[in-house]
Structure formats: structure tokens, C-alpha cells
Amino acid sequence: MLTLDGYLLAPRREQFTLAVDTYETWSLLLPRSGSFAFEVTGVQPGSARFGDLVICPPGGSLHRRMQSPAAIFHARFSTSLQPPAGRTRLHDLDRLRADLTMLEDDFTDLIAAHVVTDLVLMALRAHREQPGDKLVQQATTYLHDHFTAPDLSLAGLADQLGISPAQLSRRFKSAHTVTPVQYLRGIRLQKARQLLAETNETLQTIAEQSGYRSAFYLSRVFTNHTGRSPSDYRRASRV
């Protein structure tokens, strides 16, 4: 369900080492103290303090700036789940404190993987508990069920649901913080990453299984949104 690619438990500091970074996998920032301003690609900018979890999707850029000196937990991970991008306010702060205590007492790969998994699950739960939009839920399910269809379009999806493309895009972004087109691309690129890392299939076969008509088009989209070609990603994943 989740593979940890890297993590850092940073002590209290007055500024980030990097003001912006782009990640090939999911990434998260969790303030243990202090606060910081952030901007994630396709998401409303904001600020985060203890109890907030900031998640950046694969291929997205994460801008950050300290507002007050902060201690931060940072992690990069791969997952088949779809965590909510941007800031999520976690509801169970006692559980969050227990996770952080485990990290501070026994900072190992196993504990870090457990904590990141728990943070993602708490974020998903908090997101689900927000007032729902049934039409957006139908649209989301449809995208997951039909992402391999290369003809899938915003107009076609809106027609299926009996709503205009503009209304669907507005309501979908309100719920997910990204448009249906961006969400669909995320699903497809995640599938492509999985196939590149776990199989020896040709790029054309991977393209077809990920919802793209050709290896050329997949390669262009993959490179534009991850900063690395599919062949480079496959080689790095096999090291």
C-alpha cells in the first residue's frame, strides 16, 4: 500500500534548506512546532502549523517558507492510494502526538514507514469526513474505473453525469483541489510508474495500460511532469 522512499526528522530551524522542490513521488511536510507558508501545484496556497499535514503529489512543486522557526518531519513515499493534495487538518491530535513520540524515541525505517502510513490514512479519513459532493464522488470513481481509456475526456465525463464541463471542473476542484484532467493524469502517471518499476513491458504496452495511445505521448507527458524520462525512471527504480 505504501513504500517509503526517504524521510527526515529536522530539528527546529529558522528557514528551509530549499525554498522549492519537485518530487517524483508523493511527499509530505508535517510541522512538529512553529509554522510555515506553502504552495503546492494546483492547490490553494496557505500556511501550516501543528496538526496540519501538507501533501504534494508526484511531479508537483512544493514551495515553502518559514513563518516562525519550526521543527519539521518530511517524507517521500510511493502509494497506490490517492492522498489529498495540499493541507489537511488532522482530527486526532492525540494519535498524531503518539506517532511523533514513536519517531523521536525510535527513529528507524520501520517506525518511519508506520508513521507515514498512519499520517496518510488520517489525511484520507479527514478528507472523507468533509461534507461530500455525490456527483464528484461518482466522477472520481469513474476516473479510477476508466483511466485506461485513451478517449476519456472532461466533456465526455460531464455528459455521463448530466452536468456542464465547467460545473464539473469547478465542483471537482473544490473537493480534490485539482481539476478532473489533473487528477486523471495523476492516476495514469502513477500506473506508468508502477509498470516501469515492476515489469519489463515495453513503453508502448505501458502507455496502452496507462491510458495513452502511444509510447511517444506517454514519454512526453511523463518527462514534462516528473522531470525524468521513462527510461531514466526505470533504471533508477532498478538500482
pLDDT in tens, 73-121: 999 999 988 899 998 988 888 899 999 999 888 878 999 999 999 999 9
Output 120-125 pairs: Cβ under 8 A, ≥24 positions apart: 120/2, 120/28, 120/55, 120/77, 120/79, 120/81, 120/83, 122/53, 122/90, 122/91, 122/92, 122/95, 122/96, 123/53, 123/55, 123/83, 123/84, 123/88, 123/90, 124/81, 124/83, 124/84, 125/91
Q: CB-based burial of residue 27 (10 Å sphere; 0-12 exposed, 13-18 middle, 19+ buried)?
A: buried
Residue-averaged pLDDT of the chain: 89
Instruction: Number of helices (H) and strands (E) in the chain: give both, helices first.
Output: 9, 7
Rounded to two decimals, the pTM is 0.57
| pLDDT of 127 above 80 | no
Strands 26-40 and 86-89: unpaired
More confident residue, 202 or 141: 202
Residues linked to residue 113 through DSSP beta bridges, in sequence order = none
| pLDDT of 152 above 80 | yes
